[in-house]
Amino acid sequence: MLREIPSQTAGPYVHIGLLPSVAGIPFEPERDWARMIRPGVRGERIRIEGVVFDGTGSPVKDAVLEIWQPDASGRFPGRDPGADPAFSGFGRVAADFGTGLFAFETVKPGRVPTAEGRLQAPHATLLIFARGINIHLHTRIYFEDEAAANAEDPVLALIEQACRRETLLARRELREGLPVYRFDVHIQGPNETVFFDV
């Protein structure tokens, strides 16, 4: 049997490969991976934004983040029949070099069953890459206003300490009529985000 090749850090210049415009390279200037929706998208349009913090509480300003999520009805674009053609399911953004803020324009995801047929609460998968991160961090964004679904979610239930589940809840606010979910990631510290080994 062959073995998976090992990971290495994406390094500080990850933007050249994944988001060339951010690095200052006109490889594909029209591409905007932050915008996962097109006109006519079904479901609730939302923005997910946040900051990744390191163990000193400082923003990780060189991070690149990726999201993968289903459409508003729980179907994965390109993978599930009937998925919303106006939704990509995939987002990729860079943290702002000045502030560390990242943001995705997306829709509230629908519910997806587990292999056993149990419904999961709405969530998006978030992957984090940066200098100093030797193998990417994998977490999930849940939504604080889905309390009933969250309470029966089989993955949140895997987290032994109930207080740690809170680290996966994005906080909702309305900004000029648009729902904005705030999701900060703490790599270390008292509020260390739950990261998964999948």
Nearer to other proteins among residue 118 and residue 178 (C-beta): 118
Is residue 164 within a helix (H) or strand (E), and if so which, with residue range?
helix 162-165
Identify the three-state secondary structure at position 106.
strand
Minimum CB–partner distance for residue 133 and other proteins (Å): 5
The DSSP letter of residue 9 is: -
In the bound state with other proteins, the residue whose beta carbon lies nearer, of 173 and 197, is 197
- Backbone region of residue 76 per phi and psi (left: phi > 0; alpha: psi in -120 to 50; beta: other values): beta
Of 39 and 56, which has the nearer Cβ to other proteins? 56
Give the nearest distance from C-beta 73 to other proteins in angstroms. 13
Say how many CA atoms lie within 13 Å of 124 toward its Cβ. Answer: 32
Nearer to other proteins, 26 or 177 (CB): 26
The residue type found at 15 is H
Least Å distance, CB 82 to other proteins, is: 10
166, 33 Cβ separation under 8 angstroms? no
CB of 114 to other proteins, least distance (A): 5
151: which residues sit within 8 A by CB, 6+ positions away?
A: none
**Among residues 115 and 162, whose Cβ is nearest to other proteins?**
115
Minimum distance between the CB of residue 174 and other proteins, rounded to whole angstroms?
27
What's phi and psi for 54, nearest 5 deg?
-85, -175
Distance CA 83, CA 54 (A): 37
